[in-house]
Amino acid sequence: MPETPTPPASLITRIRARLGPKEFPSDDRGRIRMVVDSLVLHLHPSKVPVTTLKWTYTWGLGGLSAVLLTMLIFTGIILLNNYTPAVPQAYLDILELRSNVWFGELIRNIHHWSANLLIVVAVLHLIRVFATGAYRHPRELNWLIGIAMLLLIIGANFTGYLLPWDQLAFWAITVGTSIVSYVPLIGESLTRLILGGPEVGARTLLNFYSLHIAILPLGIFTLMMYHFWRVRKDGGLTLPKSITPTPEEEKPERVTTLPHLVRKELVFAVAWIAAVLIFSMLVPAPLEGIANPDLSPNPAKAPWYFMGLQELLLHFHPLVGAIVIPGMAVFGLFLLPFVDVRLDNVGVYFRSGRGRSLSLLAVGLGIFLTPAWVLLDEFILDWVAWLPGWDPLLSNGLIPLALIALGLFLLDEWITRSLNANPEEQILFFVTFLFTAFIILTMIGIFFRGPGMALFWPWDMPVH
Ligand code: HEM
Ligand code: HEM
């Protein structure tokens, strides 16, 4: 007689057998709690140092990036229900979304504002990681992953920008993608590949759509999971440790993750979701008339996060402004953990009191020198750049770049000779200075460039 196969044991029976009768909860409430606990403990260790629970250490910026990303994925999937990546249907769909779809406008607003906020928050998180020196060993890889995520987030924002297919989208993407054409040798082909043709059109919309709804979010999400895992693998968050550690720094007090950390995370996440929701109810995402390739707005600006780059392009030969300087900046960020290798004062904001003063000085100089240089270039140096017979790559590219390098060298001489800055403080100073300069350039581009991209005071702009 054939043997009747024994049915496979249920999941609960198998877990019960593994854990033994004592640990396995007997009621539903206890079992739910067990599942939630083990989910949480996949993300966090069971105990965390009290120091890392202070808001003023991480400001919750990594967690907030994750919250925003989750909101983007949820609202993005809802938006898909009412969106066709075709010309002119894309624009008509957005109009319909705003007027005929229940909560359509709100969902779009949430998607729009979370996306823009995500760039700001991810950059602030990068600044906090930089300021606490948390990119140093053993967290080099997580720093690199973070930069890769930031680039993908900017990519997701950029591709999303085109999808409403309005004037704003069309011209910002036209200006933004023109930057790619300055890549030496392959620039033209690369632009054609991205645009799917010689200019922004229906194929570009389709290309951007597939990048936007599948490839980029998948890449960001996968990297984020790995990023979280690495935080644990690298021994949790950095802990403040001075050169002569106190007993408390040597053996920090720890508390259980549940409820101490999780409760804080939940309150923080709910508060931010509420804030984004309220903001999205009050402030609609911009939408202009349907894209018109024959009617260029004046000024035609790239999306706000590329305005620093567009500003550089106004001062330098495109090869230098669009490729050499940004390339060096990203490469420098990648290199940071490998040039700054001393492990003292990891986890201490700006390393020490001296470090704080030097960073403050760097911010002050950045705020003062960047507009000064923009004005100098705009009104005095510009005519040198276009002297007849000069190769613009030399006069408007390499010579100003060499002048800036000379300025940085003199600044370095000053902080090392007069202020006795050591190599780590020099790195702190220059990264802070250059970062501030980039933010100021971005602000000049956003607020102080008017028709013809000429400098202007925002309050002089005619209201239309
Ligand atoms: C989607 C974007 C990102 C998410 C969701 C994310 C998430 C997180 C979270 C939750 C933490 C733990 C604690 C904290 O909040 O600081 C963390 C730590 C860290 N993140 Fe990110 N991050 C993102 C982007 C970045 C970027 C742009 C960088 C830098 C280039 C970066 C580098 C790091 C490093 C080095 C740590 C370890 C910090 C330490 O041990 O103190 N992350 N990240
Ligand atoms: C990192 C993640 C993401 C970012 C930064 C992002 C960013 C953006 C931005 C800035 C827009 C333009 C919004 C506007 O002004 O109208 C947009 C539109 C859109 N996104 Fe995303 N998005 C992300 C993820 C997703 C995902 C995962 C989906 C779908 C699965 C999605 C679907 C859409 C759709 C259908 C639109 C067009 C509708 C509209 O413009 O409102 N997005 N996205």
What CATH superfamily is the domain 47-296? Cytochrome Bc1 Complex; Chain C (1.20.810.10)
Ligand nearest the Cα of residue 287 is: 2
Distance 112 CA to ligand 2 centre (A): 7
Please check the confidence at residue 18 and state whether its pLDDT lies above 80. no
pLDDT at 232: 92
Collapsing DSSP to helix, strand or coil, 128 comes out as helix
- Is the Cα dihedral 234, 240, 245, 249 positive or negative? negative
Q: Ligand 2 centroid vs 347 CA: distance in angstroms? A: 35
For ligand 2, is residue 285 a contact (CB within 6 Å)?
yes
Q: What is the mean pLDDT of residues 133-148?
A: 96
Q: What rounded mean pLDDT belongs to the chain?
A: 91
CA 137–ligand 1 middle distance (angstroms): 15
pLDDT of 430 over the 60 cut: yes
For the chain, give every domain's residue range. 47-296
| Rounded mean pLDDT, 340-351 | 88
3-state secondary structure of 139: coil
Give the atom of ligand 2 at the shortest distance from the alpha carbon of 164. Answer: 40
Beta-ladder partners of 49 = 254
Pocket test for ligand 2, best of 111, 112, 116, 283 (most atoms within 8 A of CB): 111
Q: Give the highest mean pLDDT range of 43-52, 274-283, 313-322.
A: 274-283
Q: Is the CB of 77 under 6 A from ligand 2?
A: yes
User: 383 pLDDT exceeds 70?
Assistant: no
pLDDT score at 1: 54
Query: Which CA distances in Å does 463 have to 28, 284, 296, 364, 460?
Result: 63, 20, 18, 33, 9
pLDDT at position 37 is 83
Of the candidates 336, 348, 415, which has an alpha carbon nearest to the alpha carbon of residue 132? 348
From 64, 101, 212, 223, mutation site for ligand 2 pocket: most ligand atoms within 8 A of C-beta: 212
Query: Given a cut of 80, is residue 417 above it in pLDDT?
Result: yes
Question: How many Å lie between the centroid of ligand 2 and the Cα of residue 70?
Answer: 12
pLDDT band at 346 (very low <50, low <70, confident <90, very high): confident
pLDDT for 462 beyond 60? no
| pTM of the complete model | 0.92
Q: Identify whether the C-beta of residue 311 lies closer than 8 Å to the C-beta of residue 445.
A: yes
Ligand nearest to the CA of 60: 1
Atom of ligand 2 minimally distant from the CA of 107: 41
Pick from 311, 39, 316, 279: which is nearest to 175 by CA? Answer: 311
Residue 464 CA to residue 455 CA, distance in Å, equals 19
Residue 270 has pLDDT above 90, yes or no: yes
Q: Are 298 and 452 in contact (CB under 8 A)?
A: yes
What's the rounded mean pLDDT across residues 19-42? 79
Ligand 1 atom nearest 63 alpha carbon: 10
Mean pLDDT of 164-190: 93
